[in-house]
Structure 1
Amino acid sequence: MVGRPRARRSHRKEQLALVHGEVAGERTLTRLHSECLTGDVFASRHCECGEQLAAALREIVAEGRGILVHLQGHEGRGIGLLAKLRAMRLQGEGLDTVEANLALGLPVDARDYRVAADVLHDLGVNSVRLLSNNPLKREALVAHGIGVAAQVPLLTEPCPENIRCFRAKRERLAHDLPHLDGLLGRP
């Protein structure tokens, strides 16, 4: 992907936007991607993050314009890498991702998308077509002044290692994952 990387300091973290083509204006294809060291770098099959990152970049390039905002400080839905690894250990013992965070005394989701909206405002983006299955991302962008013209599904195929993660996202976190209906049954 050819683009202009842009860094922004916020909350003591540098944020990165990979920009492809002319993005200012309306209906810009956009992915807000939470950092995931285990999935993005080490190709963990515990989650679908690495696959979603690659798929989002392919869709942006195919579109001819778009933005991927890589959000630092979002590891483990905002709990940090070490806490995420502790939660993963609890998941290995049978808890789902929500239960594991709560068992550790942590929030289910501690992410803040204000910085993502700030980055989009800086790039002159007024509205997006959001590559996401997570309704909270849509709500957060709208709350911070970025219109969401459409939410574009970013569906990946589950595997035995991440099926529990998919189930928790759909049943506990309200992610829109219609491709799982036959596999998981309807909620």
Structure 2
Amino acid sequence: MFVLVMGASRGLGLEVVKAALAQGHSVRAFARGASGIKLTHDRLEKFPGDALALQDVRRALVGVDGVVQVLGVSNRDLFGPIDLFSRATAVLVPLMISQGVRRLVAVTGFGAGDSAPAIGPFQRLPFRMLFGRAYDDKTRQERLIVASGLDWTIWRPGVLINGSISGKAKILMAPAQWRNGVVSRGDVAANVVSHLTDVAMIGQKPVIIRF
């Protein structure tokens, strides 16, 4: 596939870029700091742009087969109003529809949407205090994706840590299985990319953890 990775300059987004290239895909790496990505490859295009800017997103979608949306906010932004996830998705989805790009993969997190009740009672209060604003907006993001009619998958990783691919990550599909845990960015990226063309994942919201 020719994949547009949004949020590609660091963290999990950069790991998705690396995994996609390693698995044979071509990548358009979209981020405000895309030109600073310290990675070169003949199947990599660095595309500076703002996920909230309609013209940037429209140009970035030209010619791609699918989108992996991996957005994040800094720790210092967690205690103020957060609407990046839903606003960026509200820009992206209509443009994908109008340009005929069907495949959308988004990475939100365990605790967003209907996975929130699976957070344990002892984790719930600190989780809400630290991440409540962000995850409320991730929930709004998920609602926009589910209502889009696109061929979507929403991945919900547990607590992200630095680390390479271990091959030991667990994909929890059924709500009864959902639980929190730790997982490396490398494992999440590898699984997100390996299921890009998996039609069985369309319309699914898997939780991914290692332990």
Does the alignment reach a TM-score above 0.5?
Answer: no
Higher RCO structure (Cα 8 Å, ≥6 apart): 1
| TM-score category of the 2 structures, normalised to the smaller one | 0.3 to 0.5
Q: TM-score, normalised by structure 2?
A: 0.34
